[in-house]
Amino acid sequence: MFGRRKKKGAAEDAAGEAEQVVDSVDTEADDEGERERLRLEPGPRPDGPWDSSEVRDPAEGRVDLGGLFVPGVDGMELRVEVAGDAIVAATVVLRDSAIQLQAFAAPKREGIWTEVREEIAAGITQQGGIVDEVEGPLGWELRAQVPVQLPDGTGGFQVVRFVGVDGPRWFLRGVISGQGAVQPQAAGLLEQIFRDTVVVRGEGPMAPRDPIVLKLPNDAQMVPEGVQQEEGGSRFSGGMGQLQRGPEITEVR
């Protein structure tokens, strides 16, 4: 009887070891599949955003910010945002909506938007926010409710949309706020601005995720925060309302 029990135990041990091997293989396969999903090559961009090599004249109809050429449309206000001594983002404000544009270096043959999307979602969730991943007009995006402090000191939520596109050795992220985030059907023009933006990556070495630095247009002027520009003074001017932020620089023409 002892011998039979020993044989049965040996069989169970062998089965258990086999299950552990299978579980290990399955886990490794899942991890590898996840890594492969994150390392997908950038897909085609038939509608933009564009690489500078794909556009004959990037400056035609666009504002030259160095690393980005941003389309200009009637009634919009264009602001750049500074981190330290570097200009790293541009925000287009159009009526009661806005889109922040920021470009980053990326690996030559790997897209990073899937990975960045997961990191953004995890960060917002940890803050107590709510995130939905959906397929929108610009591809996969995040529609999020981000915790913020309201002017009266109470807590609330701001609705924003995170959109992104992988290009050749670059990644362009857009953050849509205002009515364009609350009612996505109202964001058509902002989405078109995102599509028609041209990214200038440059040939120099850059680490993945390094921001592509921008510059001021030659004819830009400093506008102190809270100072209202004269109506009609610029095709990039317009009221900001509750979307005002600083420090900021506004182009005036």
The yes/no answer on whether domain 50-250 falls in CATH 3.40.190 is no
Rg (CA), the chain: 24
Instruction: Identify the pLDDT of residue 96.
Output: 93
Kindly give the interhelix angle for 113-126 and 2-38, rounded to the nearest 10 degrees: 110
What's the burial of 72, exposed, middle or buried (CB within 10 Å: 0-12/13-18/19+)? middle
pLDDT in tens, 47-61: 889 999 999 999 999
Residues of the chain with pLDDT under 50: 1-8, 14, 18, 21-22, 24-25, 27, 29, 33-36, 227-253
d(CA 162, CA 174): 6
Token pair of 227 as six digits: 């100072």
Report strand pairing: 130-136 vs 68-71.
Answer: unpaired
Length of the chain: 253
Q: What is the pTM of this model?
A: 0.73
pLDDT in tens, 207-248: 999 999 999 887 665 555 554 444 333 222 222 222 233 333
Token pair of 200 as six digits: 């200038």
Instruction: Identify the pLDDT of residue 218.
Output: 72
Instruction: Identify the pLDDT of residue 46.
Output: 79
Cα of first residue to Cα of last residue in the chain, in angstroms, is 96
d(CA 162, CA 232): 31
